[in-house]
Amino acid sequence: MPRDGETSGLTPTLLIGGRPVDIRIRRHGRASRISLRIDLRDGAVVLVLPPDADERQGLAFARTKADWLSARLAAVPARIPFADGTVLPLAGEPHTLRHTPLARRGVWVEGGTVFVSGQAEHMPRRVSDWLKQRAREAICAEALPMAAALDAKVARIALGDPRSRWGSCNSRGHLGFSWRLVLAPPPVLRYVVAHEVAHLRQLNHSPAFWRLVGTLMPEAQQAREWLKCHGGALHRYG
């Protein structure tokens, strides 16, 4: 997936409305002025710098916008923790998390309920491990036949939680995916897998690449639109 700009290694902090807020800096070759936005997925402040501005100028600009940032940050939707009673989407369908401390069954699904055994303080970790495992299974089940159909070879599949993309592919055949795709409807996961698998043959976004995606996943356009509208909300969970 394309990524505009790159992030510097350092994350400066500014006091905004009396609390410290991390400022994520992005350099953008085509930006003509310093600008600020809020990443609604995680409530981070993103400072975009054009080529001729340095970090110090950018932070000075951000300080002058502290009131605006403070108001915007207050409006960012809260995170949704993996706790008893939380409703989260699983393959696009709402499921309720239920803590069942005495059951010794790990994590399991029955109908629209995800049961989680063990102590309450371990619940977030157990749910997230379980979701990652399900994501891995679902992604592998899609990626391997797709790669075979293109006569391409997947060297490795890694799962992570990147903020700015849903999948990645490199020339060594390493595919990377966000585990959060397991929350999305199956065609959306299938599209992201098709996108990255198609990169095994075409490491670009040429018309030939998009034709390959279309052969693997005819409903690619609807899935892309779903991600544009709803993808950000998946970052609120956990």
| Residues lying near Zn ion in the complex (CB under 5 A) | 1
Nearer to Zn ion, 45 or 212 (CB): 212
CB of 226 to Zn ion, least distance (A): 17
Nearer to Zn ion, 117 or 142 (CB): 142
CB of 229 to Zn ion, least distance (A): 19
Q: Which of 79, 89, 80 is nearest to 183 (CA)?
A: 89
* Ordered strands of the 113-116 beta sheet: 87-90, 93-99, 113-116, 107-110
CB of 195 to Zn ion, least distance (A): 5
Structural Rg of the chain based on CA atoms: 20
CB of 203 to Zn ion, least distance (A): 9
| Residue 91 burial by Cβ neighbours in a 10 Å radius (0-12, 13-18, 19+) | middle
Q: Residue 116 and residue 88: Cα distance in Å, rounded?
A: 14
CA torsion through residues 3, 4, 8, 14, sign:
negative
Contacts of 202 (CB under 8 A, 6+ apart): 208, 209, 212
CB of 219 to Zn ion, least distance (A): 17
Q: Residue 202 and residue 218: Cα distance in Å, rounded?
A: 18
Nearer to Zn ion, 88 or 189 (CB): 189
Q: Which of 80, 12, 65 is nearest to 35 (CA)?
A: 65
Q: Residue 235 and residue 91: Cα distance in Å, rounded?
A: 15
Nearer to Zn ion, 1 or 14 (CB): 1
Nearer to Zn ion, 32 or 204 (CB): 204
CB of 167 to Zn ion, least distance (A): 8
Q: % helix / strand / coil in the chain, to the nearest 5? A: 40, 25, 35
Nearest position to Zn ion, beta carbon: 1
Nearer to Zn ion, 62 or 213 (CB): 213
